[in-house]
């Protein structure tokens, strides 16, 4: 299997759970997360809050591109802060979220690029 086929398979396998996933966060929980975000330090907890807010925006039926834009903003903030904290697992989750957003926007080449970036975080050729 070629490297690009491997990445495409990885992207497809990651998409299946997202298709089956339903919105599991309520509006009151989002309000709590927004309050936590405003009061939190720039640490791993804030990264997790940002990630949850991004996922909420993405799964919020994505009725408008603005929802995906908000999701992208939270995902980018998550990525930047997780990089600063050297937290590769949360960085990978933010990159996955960015990839899924681009997949929903029909930007497959960008979605694959984000999946490749995730693979690069954990794979180093010998």
Question: Exposure of 64 by Cβ count < 10 A (0-12 exposed, 13-18 middle, 19+ buried)?
Answer: exposed
| Model confidence pTM above 0.75 | no
The answer to whether 30 and 50 have CB atoms below 8 angstroms apart is no
In a structure prediction context, what are the per-residue pLDDT tens digits for the chain, which is 126 residues long? 666 655 555 555 555 444 444 456 666 666 666 676 667 777 788 888 888 888 887 766 555 666 788 889 989 999 999 999 999 999 999 999 999 989 888 899 999 999 999 999 887 665
The answer to whether 37 and 46 have CB atoms below 8 angstroms apart is yes
Return the domain boundaries, the chain. Answer: 3-122
């Amino acid at each position: 299997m070629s490297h690009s086929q491997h990445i495409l398979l990885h992207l497809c396998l990651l998409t299946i759970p997202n298709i089956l996933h339903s919105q599991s966060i309520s509006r009151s929980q989002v309000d709590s997360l927004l309050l936590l975000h405003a009061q939190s330090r720039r640490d791993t907890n804030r990264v997790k809050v940002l990630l949850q807010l991004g996922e909420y925006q993405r799964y919020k039926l994505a009725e408008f591109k603005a929802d995906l834009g908000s999701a992208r903003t939270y995902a980018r903030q998550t990525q930047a802060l997780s990089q600063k904290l050297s937290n590769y697992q949360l960085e990978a989750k933010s990159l996955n979220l960015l990839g899924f957003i681009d997949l929903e926007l029909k930007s497959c080449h960008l979605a694959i690029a984000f999946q490749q970036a995730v693979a690069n975080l954990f794979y180093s050729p010998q």
